[in-house]
Amino acid sequence: MTELVIPSTPAPSGLVLSPVKQSGLGDQMKAGLDAPICLTWELTYACNLQCVHCLSSSGRRDPGELNTEQCEAVIDELQRMQVFYINIGGGEPTIRPDFWHLVDYAVSHDVGVKFSTNGSRIDAAVARRLAGSAYVDVQISIDGADAATNDHVRGDGSFATAIEAMEHLQAANFGEFKISVVMTRHNIPQIEEFKVLADHYGAQLRLTRFRPSGRGADSWHELHPTDTQQVELYHWLLAHPDVLTGDSFFHLSALGEPLPGLNLCGAGRVVCLIDPLGDVYACPFVLHDDFKAGSVLAGGGFQHVWQQSDLFAELREPQSAGACSSCGQFDACQGGCMAAKFFTGIPLDGPDPECVNGFGEPLVAAVDVLMRPEVGKDHGRTRVVIGARPPR
Amino acid sequence: MELTDVIEAADAELADTENEELVEDELLVEEISIDGMCGVY
Amino acid sequence: MPFNLDAPYRLHDRVALRPEPFGALAYHYGNRRLNFLRAPELVTLVRSLGDHDSVRAALAASEIAEQRWPSFEKALASLAKSEVLVAT
């Protein structure tokens, strides 16, 4: 499957049209759709791992999590709204006893499923079952190309577990599963090795942005890529258009030629998150009351939240450039990621903390640690602290 | 000049030009990668 | 297979067409491809293809002005390439 840059219509002579025409489709997306194109659904906060930078601060099941019937009701709604597919995550979704039932339920109700997993429940039998399903896709998460780098963030043995899952999928002829990596200061140097690993399994590589969300807030300052690494990453992504990014590096498009993808924030406009309690947020990286749109358990269900919530209406308003209005690259970067700005404590109508022109850095430095927004409820089991560089 | 003003002006110019010429270049179908939107992990 | 205006086409049965204010979203559950149909007239045309012996016939029966047909032909060819449309 190819990533597509939105083509610009050939311009009549004399008119500089690129910014307008290129954003034609983007404008429609920004104004919102009647239903999300896809959405992320975190099924549980329970997890057998305790990754240092977990975006949902997962570890322990929350007693308020939606039960099977409530989940089925959400799926029924998604079917009525013609949501094409859901991205299931968590925590570790396969830990839920009703996980497979819900996957089957979704598929039999016209909702495709892609689920993200650390691989711990993917044995040979599960792999064969997955290989037999036409509408279920799998994404295995790792954060290092070797055990040392990966386990430093995800815990002892987690790399081996992930690899074993990949081996099972390959043996079962599952086909093209995804390998998903969150890019950090420690693993950007391994970018070529990730590609080799993915090629070895015939898997599709997906690289995504590390945001200061969830437990990520604690380690963001130590782990986020350096300026040099961002530039390196940008050029590598341009050279490898077959590598997916979930459009999460659109702030890097300010460096030059736009990266493939929509290059805009989909939160509340094209995508959103349903959390294990049924709360609806703009995206999985803003699990915070300020970005909560409502609950699927309220009278109007998910549809009402998606179509009528104040938060989403606000996000669908045209966004002004704010402090970025004097910068020539605003069209390309759209001011970056609101989650990154929010959790580093800098204004939402200004530069991204990792602004490629360096405009975000001084703002971040000036923020008193105590003034940063508090991350949502911590569902972790133990206190997790990032150590020094991973052993070589 | 406000960004929105610039866009509105360009839009108006475009509309005028399109009415005069044979409309051959409407881009009626655009494919987008299902992965190509931010907010999904 | 190159797109043939004189052949009959229809919507692939694994494709869902979801109406939107600007036209429709077409999602192919098989190959996971997502296409935007950016005109309501295109959506109507696509839905009508199965009722005609050829694409040309469908266009002729539609309310789309002839000078716009090249754009629509290009659009349909693109949809055929994504397997949203299949030759019957």
pLDDT in tens, C36-88: 999 999 999 999 999 999 999 999 999 999 999 999 999 999 999 999 999 99
pLDDT in 10s for each residue of chain A, 392 residues: 333 333 333 333 322 222 333 346 777 777 778 899 889 999 999 999 999 999 999 999 999 999 999 999 999 999 999 999 999 999 999 999 999 999 999 999 999 999 999 999 999 999 999 999 989 999 999 999 999 999 999 999 999 999 999 999 999 999 999 999 999 999 999 999 999 999 999 999 999 999 999 999 999 999 999 999 999 999 999 999 999 999 999 999 999 999 988 888 889 998 999 999 999 999 999 999 999 999 999 999 999 999 999 999 999 998 888 999 999 999 899 999 999 999 999 999 999 999 999 999 999 999 988 888 888 788 988 766 666 556 55
φ, ψ dihedrals at A195, nearest 5°: -65, -40
Q: How far apart are CA B26 and CA A222, in angstroms?
A: 48
pLDDT in tens, A297-341: 999 999 999 999 999 999 999 888 899 999 999 989 999 999 999
A84, A86, A176, best to mutate vs chain C, most C CBs in 10 Å: A84
CA distance C63 to chain B (A): 16
pLDDT in tens, A149-207: 999 999 999 999 999 999 999 999 999 999 999 999 999 999 999 999 999 999 999 99
Residues 122-141 of A with CB under 8 A from C: 134-135, 137
Provide the pLDDT for residue A4: 35
Residues B32, A25: C-beta atoms closer than 8 Å? yes
Sign for the CA dihedral angle at A254, A258, A259, A260 comes to positive
Tokens standing for C62? 């539609």
Q: Which residues of C touch A84 (CB under 8 A)?
A: 16, 18, 25, 27, 29, 34
Residues 100-119 of A with CB under 8 A from B: 116
Ordered structural domains, chain C, with CATH? 9-87 (3.90.930)
Long-range pairs of A61-65 with CB within 8 A, sequence gap ≥ 24 = A61/A91, A61/A276, A61/A379, A62/A276, A62/A277, A62/A377, A62/A379, A64/A276, A64/A277, A65/A276, A65/A277
Burial class (CB in 10 A: 0-12, 13-18, 19+), A303: middle
Q: How far apart are CA C52 and CA A391, in angstroms?
A: 67
Q: How far apart are CA A323 and CA A81, in angstroms?
A: 38
Neighbors of chain B with 3 or more C-beta pairs under 8 Å: A, C
ipTM value: 0.90
Residue with tokens 């947020």: A281
Q: Which residues of A touch B30 (CB under 8 A)?
A: 4, 6-7, 25
Question: What's the per-residue H, E or C state across chain C?
Answer: CCCCCCCCEEECCCEEEEEECCEEEEEECCCCCEEEECCHHHHHHHHHHHHCCCHHHHHHHCCCCHHHHHHHHHHHHHHHHCCCEEEC
Residues B10, A20: C-beta atoms closer than 8 Å? yes
A9, A37, A270, A306, best to mutate vs chain C, most C CBs in 10 Å: A37
